[in-house]
Amino acid sequence: MQKSLILSAAVAAVFAGGAHAEELTGTLKKINDTGIITVGHRESSIPFSYLDDKQKPVGYAMDLCHQVVAAVKKKLNKPSLVVKLVPVTSQTRIPLMVNGTIDMECGSTTNSKERQKQVGFSYSYYVTAVRMAAKASAGIKTLDDLNGKPVVTTTGTTSDRYIKQNEQGKAIDVKNVYGKDHAESFLMVDTGRAAAFVMDDILLASLIANSRNPKDFAIVGPALSVEPYGIMLRKDDPQFKKVADDTLAAIFKSGQINTIYNKWFMTPIPPKNININLPMSDKLKEAIKTPTDVGI
């Protein structure tokens, strides 16, 4: 007992004059030992995490993550901590997190109960609603208008599930078709192969903003599902999660979040200098007022 007391005292002494009251565990310990923090980012999740014209990862989530990294530097008292950026995809992000390649993932990852079996999540920094994009001239207002029509979703997403659930008990029959990625799904609506594209509203808004004639398209219908995005972390790693959560909470409380939000959602952004022009939703305002890490 006494031995371990002496030992921990010695350990505490080694660390910069007792800057940490607690012993480091999990990811923070790993970062402290190696002197490297590895951040996973996406390559085309506009405007959350994507490569700009200089192939540098930028975005709303990246801005927030840089502040978390700064907080880690401060907590470990290591201003020269090396930040390694690793690109991930929706298929690789969980295995790379679990096997220790990345320490945090900053992208557009839904905090779901299913994912929580493998990984952890910070407070939600964005809330998206699943809705439909259709040709403005097509006169589609609700799901009922889609009866008998082809509706496209992107492979690997769950949007078709929401259509199936909303079909139940109603006399509507929708034909599900699939695009390989969001750009292709949008092309299907553009060329008339599909009547509507069901997807997260933010992704629809940025696809429309980037199209040739943004006025030709409209985001319509009710929210089929509401999904929170969070920074993906390692599971059962309370010390590191606290750093991330405290950083986000501080950004939310100080109102700095509004500046960061406006920078990415309300003003022109690289690489094409297009303005997504999507005001903050009520759900997001709620999540900022009362930070939460509850998944769906």
Q: Where on the chain is the footprint of another protein (CB under 8 A)?
A: 30, 90-91, 94-95, 97-100, 110, 112, 114-115, 117-119, 150, 152, 155-158, 161, 164-165, 177-180, 184, 187, 191-193, 234-237
Between 91 and 273, CB nearer to another protein: 91
Between 7 and 98, CB nearer to another protein: 98
- Reported for 267-271, long-range contacts at CB under 8 A and 24+ positions apart, including other chains, are 269/46, 269/47, 270/52, 270/53, 270/58, 271/52, 271/53
Q: How far is the CB of 183 from another protein (least distance, A)?
A: 12
Between 78 and 161, CB nearer to another protein: 161
Between 173 and 286, CB nearer to another protein: 173
Q: How far is the CB of 141 from another protein (least distance, A)?
A: 21
According to DSSP, the β-strands at 36-41 and 104-106 are: parallel
Q: How far is the CB of 94 from another protein (least distance, A)?
A: 6
Radius of gyration of the chain (CA): 22
Q: How far is the CB of 85 from another protein (least distance, A)?
A: 20
Q: How far is the CB of 289 from another protein (least distance, A)?
A: 28
Between 152 and 248, CB nearer to another protein: 152
Between 101 and 277, CB nearer to another protein: 101
Between 132 and 257, CB nearer to another protein: 132
Q: How far is the CB of 166 from another protein (least distance, A)?
A: 11
Q: How far is the CB of 294 from another protein (least distance, A)?
A: 17
Q: Are 104 and 231 in contact (CB under 8 A)?
A: yes
Between 98 and 226, CB nearer to another protein: 98
DSSP string, the chain: -HHHHHHHHHHHHHTGGG--SS---HHHHHHHHHSEEEEEE-SEETTTEEE-TTS-EESHHHHHHHHHHHHHHHHHT-TT-EEEEEE--TTTHHHHHHTTS-SEEES--B--TTGGGTEEEEEEEEEEEEEEEEEGGG---SGGGGTTSEEEEETTSSHHHHHHHHHTTSS---EEEEESSHHHHHHHHHHTS-SEEEEEHHHHHHHHHHSS-GGGEEEEEEEEEEEEEEEEEESS-HHHHHHHHHHHHHHHHHTHHHHHHHHHHTS-BTTTTB----PPPHHHHHHHHS------
293: alpha, beta or left? (left if phi > 0; alpha if psi -120 to 50): alpha
